[in-house]
Chain A
Amino acid sequence: MSASEILRELDSLKDAKAKIEHKISALEAQLREIHLRNDAAPLNGSSSYSTNGLTQDMIHRYSRHLMLPAFGVQGQANLLKSSILVVGAGGLGAPALLYFAASGVGRLGIIDHDVVELNNMHRQVIHTEAYVGKPKVKSAAAACRSVNSTIQVVEHEEALRTSNALEILSKYDIIVDATDNAPTRYLISDCCVVLGKPLVSGAALGLEGQLTVYNYNGGPCYRCLFPMPPPRTACQSCAEGGVLGVVPGIIGCLQALEAIKIAASVGEPLSGRMLLLDALSGRIRIVKIRGRSMHCEACGENATFTQQKFREFDYEKFTETPLRVPPLKLNLLPNESRISSKEYGEIILTKEPHVLVDVRPAHHFKIVSLPKSLNIPLSTLEARLPEISSALKKEEEDSGLVSGSSAQLYVVCRRGNDSQRAIQCLHKMGFTSAKDIIGGLESWAHNVDPNFPTY
């Protein structure tokens, strides 16, 4: 069998396996139902036991909740009757969803438009390798069902927009914001205000996390705290800035805790307060934040934010950020100042005398780099120009170039944006023939050497 035949066979077997597993869990659930019905009508005809509406199976499954004086039968019964929507089945949503399913949230909604990628799996612990390339909603829903087949799991395989948000969010009691970008965060908060839903909001990046509950019991909404959106450059994503997997895991678990408290009507939800996690120094601080703002455009005294206005609001324009963040693609240079990754491949093959400067940060350069490249991060470029001059001179000597001709200077980065900024700087500083590699190392991996690791 060829590799592609094996892959096809594997795919079809995995499909069949998933179908069989689904059938097994459906039959098991059916069997439990039958047992429950039999339990409810004992053969000897005696009256049913007083269990506050919980079935025998529920009492067994949730027994450790029921024994908690502060939670008890009432807390569990409230939870079983509640519905929670998790927006985003990523690093925050993954643990939150697992705990919601396990704890018996009656109806659990999942909305996401992405597919599972290998570089998600270090933090998005709900997904398994078998689901790489498949929709996150499908993967997360299957995991939730395998944890608890007695709850209802609803799949929304789509992106959240102003056109569908009101309809989807209105079907749930509590909304959990587990998304990864500014426009969606404003969109969800405004929609929760319009619909009067509590919002459990979490965020994580790098080694830090933040958590609070918005629009709960007269507390502030997202806009009360952040009436103006931050500049685009202040909003890094996990894909750009990196994130330690366990950090969103912790925040996601805390989101589950807050939502479960609200759903069960126990304890004090984290409204009017914000939890700040600094994982590196091992510090958690809980700070007091402002209350509802009278002047808030969404929830203030004279606010006119209606369903109609929500539907028409342009969140991408407001935050100057696209909802679906495509990788930034700058085009700052004329064509003659650029070469393709394939052309650079030719240059290596023909041993053309040249120097390759890699302008990524040093910790990126350590992950992987092209042979003989010189790492000068963009932020230090101006100060380190003499190093480039001497590298060019050495290359000219080593390759025995006749005086008068010179070695060429090329610049590369991860995706081909910073390399253009570097070329602009180099041109200004006298390296007028310097060129960048279009699309950077990602293009190299894509078009020249598929074995080159990408990150």
Chain B
Amino acid sequence: MQLTLEFGGGLELLCDSKKIHNVNIEQQNGENKLTMKDLLSWVRTNLIKERPEMFMKGDTVRPGVLVLVNDCDWELSGQLETSLEEKDVVVFISTLHGG
């Protein structure tokens, strides 16, 4: 499944300072189904190069990270259970506090 993943608000520092990643994820068991839960563990294994605790806590993202699926808060689509489709854009963004 081809997806575009974007990291912002400093999270890009955890994956080689690269903000946009066009990825192709092979589904397990040949199933044509991928959930956000699957994607998170794939990202953790394949993209996060340092300090994984700054990205995840338990099986979800750490507090202070917003997850957007096609420009929509993942709270509105079922969080970890959100199922992804071909060409979806998933954004992980850390909330900022500076000013």
| Chain A residues proximal to chain B, CB less than 8 Å | 88, 90-93, 178-182, 185, 202-206, 208-210, 225-231, 233-238, 241, 243, 248, 251, 274, 276, 278, 281, 285-290
Contacts and interface: CB of A to CB of B under 8 A. Distances in A.
A230 B64 contact: yes
Nearest to A206: B10
Interface stretch (B27-35, B39-47, B69-77): B69-77
Contacts of B19: 278, 281
A90 B71 contact: no
Contacts, number: 102
**Number of contact residues on B: which range applies?**
20 to 34
A-B pairs with lowest CB-CB distance, top 6: A230-B64, A228-B63, A205-B98, A203-B96, A290-B75, A92-B99
Nearest to A293: B75
A227 B60 CA distance: 14
Contacts of B9: 205, 208, 210
Given A205-B10, A290-B76, A234 B94 contact: yes
B52 interface: no
Contacts of A230: 62-65, 94-95
Nearest to A238: B98
B66 interface: yes
Contacts of A88: 99
A92 B64 CA distance: 21
A238 B99 CA distance: 7
Contacts of A236: 10, 97-98
Contacts of A93: 99
A209 B96 contact: yes
A253 to B, nearest CB: 13
A217 to B, nearest CB: 18
B27 to A, nearest CB: 27
A147 to B, nearest CB: 21
Determine which residue in B72, B91, B96 has the highest number of CB atoms from chain A within 10 A of its CB, and name it: B96
A327 to B, nearest CB: 16
Given A208-B8, A229-B64, A230-B63, A237 B97 contact: yes
A204 B95 contact: no
B84 interface: no
B36 interface: no
Given A230-B63, A237-B98, 18 more contacts: A179-B99, A180-B97, A203-B98, A204-B98, A205-B97, A210-B95, A226-B64, A228-B63, A230-B95, A233-B54, A237-B97, A241-B10, A241-B98, A251-B99, A287-B68, A287-B73, A288-B72, A290-B76
A231 B97 CA distance: 12
B80 interface: no
B5 interface: no
Contact of B73 (A90, A182, A251, A288): A288
14 contacts: A88-B99, A91-B99, A185-B97, A208-B8, A225-B66, A230-B94, A231-B53, A231-B64, A235-B64, A238-B99, A243-B98, A287-B68, A287-B71, A288-B71
Nearest to B93: A276
Nearest to A286: B71
Contacts of B97: 180-182, 185, 203, 205, 235-237
